[in-house]
Chain A
Amino acid sequence: VSYKDLRGMKDDEFVDILEERRCSSDLGHAFRTFNPQPYKGGPPCSAADLNKALLDSHFLHRVVKEVAMETGSSQEKVMEEAGEILVEMSHNLHLPFIRLMGYTFSKVIKRLFTSIFVNMDGLNTLQQAVQENPVILMPNHRSYVDFLIISYILFTYDIPVPVIAAGVPLAEMKIVGEILRRSGAFFIRRSIGSDKLYWAVLSEYVRGIVRHGFAPVEFYVEGLRSRTLKSLTPKLGMMQMVLEPYFKGEVFDITLVPISISYDRVLEESLLARELLGVPKPKESTAGLLKASRVLQEDYGSMQVNFGQPLSVRKLCEGKINRSYYNLVPRDLPMKPSAEALACVSWLAHVVVGLQERGSLISPWSLMACLLIQEPTTVLAEQGLLWDDLTEKTLWLRKMVLDFGARLNWPGEAPNSAVMSSAISLHRSIVYLKAGRVYLTQEEVPLRRHRISPEEGVFRTAVPVLMLAAYRNQSLHALVRPAMLAMSICITRSTQRDELFRFFCFLQEVFANEFIFIPGNLSQDFEEACLCLNSCGAVYISEQEVRVSEQSSEVITFLQKLLQPFIDSYQLIFRCVCEEEQVQVFTEKQFLAAVRALALKLILSGELHTYETLSSDTQKNVLSALCRLEAVAKSEINEFKVNKAAVRRITDALCKSRQGSITIFNYNYSVSSIIQVQLQLH
């Protein structure tokens, strides 16, 4: 097996951009001649021109007039307000600051990472693409480091640096905010709500950048950093603003470039885990940033940035969108997009997230995490796992994910055992190797304290477990479809394609907030799952049937166990929701507290084996799933009301998922009840 095959990157040439940084001057790099190819669609446009065009736009004037009418203030005043919003929002991209940022960045990333791999063919196609049409760079968001890395790479390779959508808290950081602004960041408030004027300024601002097209726009379609390293359900507001110029015919086409950033080790790993356990995120501040500088002392392995193939919005939207929708109204009339356009925006956003996932490189550590987390936590914490077992299984898993067509980042130069042990030592905050066994790392108990409460004990264990879960999640995109099929096989005990497909759809529906699937892609997802399981010999497939092969039951078992924590967490939370006898209506806060308390109790009593139920991300996902499935109704004042019968029906369908899992209701499960549930769901 060749090196490239092992990495699962047959065609791409990944280059370590730090290599050159380590052997030539950072100052020289910062002052390099920056000479990108010009955009063919029009001349460059300065930040000031952009702002002026926005304030002069008919669109804004119309909205200002409306807002003035509604609020009773004068148009001048509203216009002034719009100007202030713009001042807070707008970027002020300056090349000298890009250089300054480049210099600082060189210093920092060299310290943090051993290497940063970038695919050169992706950069080459991007270089062509930015000359033709407006380009939207769409990276996934896993760490604060993501924020300027793209600009840094583009600057290094003579591609116009992007303007980047960022959250307003970043702008409020002293000095740093201004540096970011001048490095091309523009700032968006977190909760805009129904502030009409703000929406107007923001959307016209974004559209203006896209229309001019000379600078790429970079934004995180997931909206925020994923705390779980899993893809998030894409946010559609920004996506819609970015696409509107195409829908309106103001540009010929828009190019979307999905970018997959993967980390061997994420800087914020323990912060994220704590946040998931309810410790609030520290507010972004310059002081905080300086304090965090101790994280700079540690090693974070390598980082991979994979620029995906540019996507033509025009081609993707063919037949999906009727652009003549806008024909009968003035160009600059504020207008709600058509239902068709909204569906298309959502679909495109999901497509991009899907491509980000497929472009991500799976690290050896992530594969190990998949296996480690399947061990009972107490075993992992106390007896440890035999190192040889782990390495053997990891290699087995490596072969499987390669069969599934995933991209792997498995260094080919070193022996496999060295690769794996270096992964362990990079992640000593989570596990450690001692005497041929792997143990879960737990924070040391402060000396002063003699005893810790059982609850604290759970919390101390939960931190590394959730970190482990997060690294497992880096592989999930490659495994989730076959895993859902495996789960369907286990639960339905059927071999009939139709039946398996129905259950597969049901699982997708329930877990739609957990795993990102492209809407309307169910059949392809199912087909892919079948082919994956078939490719590793786990099933035989025919027209009518999917039959488990006797020899390869371990694949099915592994995949089923991979999803089990999700199933268990969902069931527990469903149960919790139904048990709340007295309270019919609750707030999100009450809900989270109740779930946490119940989970804690059950973990302590040994009834619940997964710590992931403690994760606020899981808890919120269940709540959204219940809302989506109309088993819970959300009121205008953000209170939730449960339809217990509906929740029970969903639980029923999932409950026989595994012997030994928490069985809450003893209803006999039948195929017809699932179908019934599905009918109700649709």
Chain B
Amino acid sequence: CVICGNAWRHEVMKWNGWGYSDSRFLFNKKGQAEFTGKRYKLSGMILPALKDWFEGTFGASLQHKSPATPLLNTSAVQAPTLNQDFVEELKSIGVPFSHEAEDRAFRGHGHCLHEIFALREGKIGRVPDMVVWPNCHNDVEKIVALACKHNVCLIPYGGGTSVSSALECPPEETRSIVSLDTSQMNRILWIDEKNLTAHVEAGIIGQDLERLLNESGYCTGHEPDSMEFSSLGGWVSTRASGMKKNIYGNIEDLVVHIKMVTPQGVIEKSCQGPRMSTGPDIHHFILGSEGTLGVVTEVTMKIRPVPEYQKYGSVVFPNFEQGVACLREVAKQRCAPASIRLMDNEQFMFGHALKPQVSSIFTSFLDGLKKFYITKFKGFDPSRLCVATLLFEGNREKVLQHEKQVYDIAAKFGGLAAGEDNGQRGYMLTFVIAYLRDLGMDYYVIAESFETSVPWDRVLDVCRNVKARVVRECKDKGVQFSPLSSCRVTQTYDAGACVYFYFAFNYRGLSDPVHVYEQVEHAAREEILANGGSLSHHHGVGKLRKEWMRETVSEVGVGMLQSVKDYVDPKNIFGNRNLL
């Protein structure tokens, strides 16, 4: 079969790690860290401080390597269970498919630590039995109809960036599992400049969507950290959030119309009115349904003209408490820039370690800052201070005005402006940080991130308690080295904030590091919930967090969702078993 574009993703992307094959961190022969490839600003650069930070923070050593299995051993992938009747009919409708081991293994996982860890060890669990590549909405309708007819399990697959075990095949599933890869449905079908909307196929990847819209002078402004690889359909089915939601909104604010194919037929609204009072919004059954009800095929989204002017910024605070107080005030005054994020001291240090050698492009954040300290602001304790990064967008005049307003608020909380470059670098790091996990895993360090949303009055409590819980759990579970436990406030809302946690530890000496890691993550989630944080702000529930759904949405809530599932998909064709 002839498949174009990014169907064979594993040719450009890693099969057992994050992102592009050509881009990775490594320690070169001199022991210096560098980032390979040409795709990113950091590509080809040496990061001289990373080694010391890495070894110092984790007690890791470049002598102790834990390399990944280099190639996928196709014989480790179990033979596909095929439903022959389904396959025959599929052939007859002419939709491309494959049951090659590589294709199947590639679509049998997301990017949770345990998934990647297993792949690196060459362990492949249950994977889809075949992959199909519909080209358009009609193809999907046909595939779903066939799946219903032959009782085949379908698992929609978009960008594969899930971090909730949503793409894992349920081990108890006995039917043939078909991965429905939406990557060929990647066109912008039309742009409506009068209403400022675009009608897009749901398989389009974030960066392609932005690039193509930019060519016409537009953007969606939806920029989740995974936007290089995640798909529009994935955003809709997980209730994704974008970095610049303060201007553009989250995915639920951006969609005007959704078309989804379910076993009961197609669900969509009859018009594109901007708001309706027609009972509960059916979009909200689709948003966050995590592939359990059907396949999102086409979406009408709001678009905006590409902003005239963008400006990064950063502010240093004497401590995290002051930083949070500032963000809260910014939210109160409803003057949040396109993005505002507050990193804690540990992440600040981490950022320090990622400073490239060639700093002609990146005027060094810390060098400048240090000078500041030594000369003027010695009052800041380097082991307590933290930094907020900012991104302003709009017309130039308004941006400058806005910037001043925010810096004035920051000053009231002891914040000092710390330069544009640092802000810019902070955001750039968002895209490379996932690559760093793979570097850690080469040296016995495992890492994961998780997020929550929490009311303002509990932000500090959640941050403190969850970080401390991670440290204590690691200790209790026998981790030999002190872990990195860090957080940042990444989004502000009227009534609360989104908090993102990172934790990482050196697992040398542990017989089952993944199990330990899972226990720690579990405990951390318990801690979040006990402190009034939510189960998830934007990663979703998947299978990783579904044990907490009942307490999260109440018994009746679960029943409601279940009855929708029972009506829409009585035979559990969309059988990924996420959410419920």
Mark A residues whose CB is within 8 Å of B. Answer: 248-250, 252-253, 322-324, 326-327, 330-332
Contacts and interface: CB of A to CB of B under 8 A. Distances in A.
A331 B458 contact: yes
A252 B469 contact: yes
Contacts of B464: 252
B455 to A, nearest CB: 8
Interface stretch (B222-230, B529-537, B539-547): B529-537
Interface in B453-510: 457-458, 461-462, 464-465, 468-469
17 contacts: A249-B462, A249-B531, A249-B532, A250-B461, A252-B465, A252-B468, A253-B468, A322-B530, A323-B530, A324-B529, A324-B530, A324-B551, A327-B532, A330-B457, A331-B457, A331-B458, A332-B457
A332 B464 CA distance: 19
B458 A249 contact: yes
Contacts of B469: 252
- Chain A CB within 10 Å — which of B469, B532, B551 has the most? B532
Contacts of B531: 249, 323
Given A322-B530, A326-B532, 7 more contacts: A249-B458, A249-B461, A249-B465, A252-B465, A253-B468, A323-B531, A327-B532
A248 B465 CA distance: 11
A322 B130 CA distance: 45
A441 B261 CA distance: 98
Interface of B: 457-458, 461-462, 464-465, 468-469, 529-532, 551
Nearest to B529: A324
Nearest to A325: B530
A244 to B, nearest CB: 13
Contacts of B462: 249
Contacts, number: 27
B325 to A, nearest CB: 14
A519 to B, nearest CB: 24
List the 4 closest A-B pairs by CB distance, nearest first: A323-B530, A252-B468, A249-B531, A327-B532
Contacts of A249: 458, 461-462, 465, 530-532
Contact of A324 (B457, B465, B532): B532
Contacts of A248: 461
Nearest to A327: B532
Nearest to A245: B461
B471 to A, nearest CB: 9
Nearest to A246: B465
Contacts of A324: 529-530, 532, 551
Contacts of B461: 248-250
B168 to A, nearest CB: 28
A662 B461 CA distance: 61
A327 B554 CA distance: 14
Contacts of A331: 457-458
Contacts of A330: 457
A249 B458 CA distance: 8
Contacts of A250: 461
Contacts of A252: 464-465, 468-469
Contacts of A253: 468
Nearest to B467: A252
A457 to B, nearest CB: 63
Contacts of B530: 249, 322-324
A335 to B, nearest CB: 14
Nearest to B551: A324
Contacts of A326: 532
A106 to B, nearest CB: 37
A519 B531 CA distance: 28
A327 B458 CA distance: 9
Nearest to B456: A331
Contacts of A323: 530-531
Contacts of B529: 324
Contacts of B458: 249, 331
A331 B464 CA distance: 16
A60 to B, nearest CB: 16
Nearest to A133: B468
B549 to A, nearest CB: 15
A397 to B, nearest CB: 42
A252 B463 CA distance: 10
A324 B535 CA distance: 13
A253 B532 CA distance: 16
Contacts of B551: 324
B487 to A, nearest CB: 14
Nearest to B471: A252
A152 B78 CA distance: 72
A250 B458 CA distance: 8
B52 to A, nearest CB: 24
A253 B468 CA distance: 9
Contacts of B465: 249, 252
A187 to B, nearest CB: 30
Nearest to A248: B461
- Chain B CB within 10 Å — which of A253, A322, A323, A326 has the most? A323
A331 B486 CA distance: 24
A252 B524 CA distance: 12
B419 to A, nearest CB: 27
A667 B531 CA distance: 58
A248 B457 CA distance: 11
Contacts of B468: 252-253
- Chain A CB within 10 Å — which of B457, B461, B529 has the most? B461
A530 to B, nearest CB: 33
A330 B455 CA distance: 9
Nearest to A252: B468
A322 B551 CA distance: 12
A18 B520 CA distance: 47
Contacts of B532: 249, 324, 326-327
Nearest to A132: B468
B527 to A, nearest CB: 9
A323 B528 CA distance: 10
A398 to B, nearest CB: 40
A330 B456 CA distance: 10
Nearest to A328: B532
A322 B530 CA distance: 7
A318 to B, nearest CB: 10
Nearest to A332: B457
A323 B461 CA distance: 12
A324 B551 CA distance: 10
A327 B455 CA distance: 9
Nearest to B461: A249
A252 B465 CA distance: 5
A252 B468 CA distance: 7
Nearest to A250: B461
- Chain B CB within 10 Å — which of A250, A252, A253, A331 has the most? A252
A248 B530 CA distance: 9
A250 B468 CA distance: 13
B547 to A, nearest CB: 15
B253 to A, nearest CB: 25
B458 to A, nearest CB: 7
B529 to A, nearest CB: 6
A327 B532 CA distance: 5
A327 B551 CA distance: 12
Nearest to A314: B472
A77 B139 CA distance: 75
A311 to B, nearest CB: 15
A90 B4 CA distance: 76
B194 to A, nearest CB: 45
Contacts of A332: 457
A324 B531 CA distance: 6
B525 to A, nearest CB: 12
A405 B551 CA distance: 46
A323 B457 CA distance: 16
A148 to B, nearest CB: 33
A19 to B, nearest CB: 38
Nearest to B532: A327
- Chain B CB within 10 Å — which of A248, A249, A326 has the most? A249
A327 B535 CA distance: 13
A322 B461 CA distance: 16
